[in-house]
């Protein structure tokens, strides 16, 4: 029996799909989570915290592969360093990391850039921790998941007028389509940076919001709002898109139909 595969963030939006797909592929899975929970057949949950280091040695013990999906708004590079240190002590497993398309193409020089896009800077710093870890590694960059766009759309739709960042386009992808690719590369040999992944279509921000409002049957005007700064200009230029690496998976309209209700045809 091959050793279990550790999935950090295996309780999250992406990680849950990764765990299910690895399990379906016949692999035992170990999930590191801050919140203890009972295991299931072939899936073990280990309580720990990547930021404090609690439980990380136990999580990596005996694994040959780690899929690192855990993330939070702050501290990702430090969390990755803790994971890497434990992994080096445990015998150099293959470290698979999920990052974001465009992290090296969005300038962060100004305070407004750092405030708006600081998370992307922390993803780039974490990519470097992985690449310089001394472990065999593979990193996949993905565009935004449908779930994230939906969460933002739901929040914005509480306003009487829905602001859409002018000139911004997004390339949403289904988290399960990303999980499928991640599992594919996890079961292969370490490959360094692999080609990016994006969804089936690119949309203007206003179109995504209108699609959501239509599916949710909510009437609200969508108003373009200019966003200043170099970071915003990089978005205008499409730094966050991966049109050459589109998957033919679930579209935004199909996702909305499943999650929200009847999406308008063609969206
Ligand atoms: N969302 C997107 O659109 C998108 C796009 C491209 C790439 N990505 C990347 O994909 C990855 C997964 O994103 P997601 O949206 O699926 O994340 P998510 O739903 O927010 O889940 C975050 C996960 O991280 C775990 N976690 C957070 N802090 C932790 C800590 N200190 N120690 C251990 N575990 C911790 C959480 O586990 P517990 O709460 O159980 O502890 C949870 O499972 C991230 O690296 C993200 O940057 C996301």
Q: CATH number, domain at 243? A: 3.40.50.720
Q: Is residue 266 part of a domain?
A: no
Task: Residue 82: give the domain boundaries.
Answer: 5-259
Q: Is residue 264 part of a domain?
A: no
Residues 159-191: tens digit of each pLDDT? 999 999 999 999 999 999 999 999 999 999 999
Cα 166 to Cα 207: distance, rounded to the nearest angstrom: 11
**What spacing in Å lies between the alpha carbon of 71 and ligand 1's midpoint?**
4
265 found inside a domain: no
Say how many Å lie between the CA of residue 11 and the centre of ligand 1.
8
pLDDT in tens, 70-129: 999 999 999 999 999 999 999 999 999 999 999 999 987 777 677 778 899 999 999 999
Does the structure show a pLDDT above 70 at 212? Answer: yes
The dihedral through the CA atoms of 8, 11, 12, 15 has a sign that is: positive
Is 167 part of any domain? Answer: yes
pLDDT at 267: 37
pLDDT of res. 159: 97
Confidence of residue 262 (pLDDT cuts 50, 70, 90): low
Give the span between the Cα atoms of 258 and 96, in whole angstroms.
Answer: 30
Q: Please state, in angstroms and as integers, the Cα–Cα distance from residue 182 to each residue in 58, 79, 99, 134, 159, following that order.
A: 24, 20, 11, 21, 36
Mean pLDDT of the chain: 94
Domain assignment present for 238: yes
Tell me, yes or no, whether 234 lies in a domain: yes
Rg of the chain taking only CA atoms, in angstroms:
19
CA 200 to ligand 1 centroid distance, Å: 23
- Whether 267 is in a domain gets the answer no
pLDDT in tens, 28-48: 999 999 998 999 999 999 999
Residue 59's contacts (CB-CB under 8 Å, 6 or more residues apart) are: 6, 8, 30, 32, 46, 48, 86
- pTM higher than 0.85: yes
**253 within 8 A of 144, measured Cβ to Cβ:** no
Pocket test for ligand 1, best of 71, 75, 179, 198 (most atoms within 8 A of CB): 71
Phi–psi pair at 265, nearest 5 degrees: -60, 135
For residues 183 and 195, give the distance between their C-alpha atoms in angstroms, rounded to a whole number.
14
Question: pLDDT at position 136, please?
Answer: 98
In a domain, 232, yes or no: yes
70, 84, 120: residue to mutate for ligand 1 pocket, most atoms within 8 A of CB: 70
CA atoms within 13 A on the CB side of 8: 31
How far, CA to CA in Å, does 183 sit from each of 17, 52, 189, 259?
10, 28, 12, 24
Q: How many domains does the chain have?
A: 1
């Amino acid at each position: 029996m091959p050793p279990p595969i550790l999935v950090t963030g295996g309780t999250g939006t992406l990680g849950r799909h990764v765990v299910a797909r690895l399990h379906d592929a016949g692999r035992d899975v170990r999930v590191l989570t801050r919140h203890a929970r009972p295991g299931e057949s072939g899936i073990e949950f280990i309580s720990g915290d990547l930021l404090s280091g609690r439980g990380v040695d136990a999580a990596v013990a005996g694994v040959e592969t780690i899929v690192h999906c855990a993330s939070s708004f702050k501290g990702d590079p430090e969390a990755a360093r803790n994971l890497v240190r434990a992994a080096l002590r445990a015998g150099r497993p293959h470290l698979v990391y999920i990052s974001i398309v465009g992290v090296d193409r969005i300038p962060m020089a100004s305070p407004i850039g750092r405030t708006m896009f600081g998370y992307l800077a922390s993803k780039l710093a974490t990519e470097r921790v992985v690449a310089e870890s001394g472990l065999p590694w593979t990193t996949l960059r993905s565009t935004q998941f449908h779930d994230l766009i939906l969460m933002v759309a739901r929040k914005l739709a509480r306003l009487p007028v829905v602001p859409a960042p002018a000139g911004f386009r997004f390339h949403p992808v289904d988290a399960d389509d990303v999980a499928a690719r991640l599992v594919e590369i996890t079961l292969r040999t370490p490959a360094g940076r692999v080609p990016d992944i994006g969804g089936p279509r690119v949309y203007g921000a206003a179109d995504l919001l209108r699609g959501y409002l239509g599916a949710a049957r909510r009437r609200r005007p969508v108003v373009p709002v200019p966003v200043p700064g170099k970071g915003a200009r990089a978005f205008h230029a499409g730094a966050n898109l991966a049109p050459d690496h589109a998957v033919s998976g679930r579209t935004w309209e199909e996702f909305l139909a499943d999650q929200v209700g009847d999406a308008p045809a063609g969206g």
